[in-house]
Structure 1
Amino acid sequence: MTHSAEDAQAYIDDMATKRGYVLDYHKIMAKQDFPVLQAANHLVSTAYLDQRTLDRRTKELIFIVSLTVMRASKGHIQSHIRVALDIGVSATEILEAIEIALPEAGIVAFQTGFEAWREVVDADGIEPTVKAHAGGSGE
């Protein structure tokens, strides 16, 4: 079955409306291999977007944590952070969810999610008032 460029465009527009974001690979697959994009999106829709038992807030937090643990790209994590913020999840709730990665996945995985979160919410920190010693581990 062949698909027109208009079909692919309508599909991408629908994805943006339902998800609240569209990733670069979605855009490229819509043009390059539309049937595979549709198949992959059907799985995501069933597990993630369709209203079942878990509410959307919970699913977004789970998605953010799972992407953090998997060390997904910062942009991918940030797309879910933005959706979570848009649907009313607080920045603090998102950080708390990301912190769940610490005991099981470790500091490196946590830092991936943390940096994505920090940029989206524009979080700042406290600078030391004393000179730090050289040779710190960065942790």
Structure 2
Amino acid sequence: MSTTMQDPQAYIDEMARTRGYVLDYHKVMAKQDFDVLQAANNLVGAAYLEERTLDRKTKELIFIVSLTVMRASKGHIQSHIRVALDLGLSAREILEAIEISLPEAGIVAFQTGFEAWREVVDADGLEPTVKVFDGGAGAGA
């Protein structure tokens, strides 16, 4: 993304085209502190958006796992899951990436990413055929 673009609205629109999403803080920062938004976005561009050794699909999976481990908001994780799907990754590939969080970050962190994934891909499960208490969706749900 060009750092010479000075119109905040055009910048946000370009962010949406380039990333496939914009977060609420991007929208507010574009209006309230455009210089810092551009600086932060340049770092994201270099580390995440620009294809270097790792391709964008791989970076997207890493980003999803990172957000899961950090227990980011469900909406933030879901925006990256949608981008991953748009890039051609399968729902199963994304799930397998999220599952990497289990050994190191634990079940609570995993559930955050899993619930985000389940909602985006509309995954269903099996219901017990015996009487059981409802365990709910897990963390944050």
Task: Tell me the TM-score normalized by structure 2.
Answer: 0.90
User: Over residues 20-78 of structure 1, what are the superposed CA-to-partner deviations in whole Å (9 max), with x where a residue is unaligned?
Assistant: 11111000000010000000000000000011000010000000000000000000000
DSSP-derived class of the 1:130 partner: coil
- CA–CA distance in 1 between the matches of 2:125 and 2:107? 18
- CA–CA distance in 2 between the matches of 1:86 and 1:52? 20
- CA–CA distance in 2 between the matches of 1:47 and 1:59? 9
Aligned to 2:37: 37
Q: Counterparts of 1:1-139 in structure 2 under 5 Å?
A: 7-132=7-132, 134=133
**CA separation of 1:41/1:92 partners in 2, compared to 1, >3 Å: closer, same or farther?**
same
- CA–CA distance in 1 between the matches of 2:16 and 2:80? 13
Task: Tell me the TM-score normalized by structure 1.
Answer: 0.91
DSSP-derived class of the 1:51 partner: coil
Query: Partner letter of residue 46 of structure 1?
Result: A
5+ unaligned residues in a row in structure 1: which ranges? Answer: 1-5
**CA separation of 1:26/1:111 partners in 2, compared to 1, >3 Å: closer, same or farther?**
same
- Any conservation in 1 of the 2:57–2:89 contact (CA below 8 Å)? yes
Which of these two proteins has the greater Rg computed from alpha carbons? 1
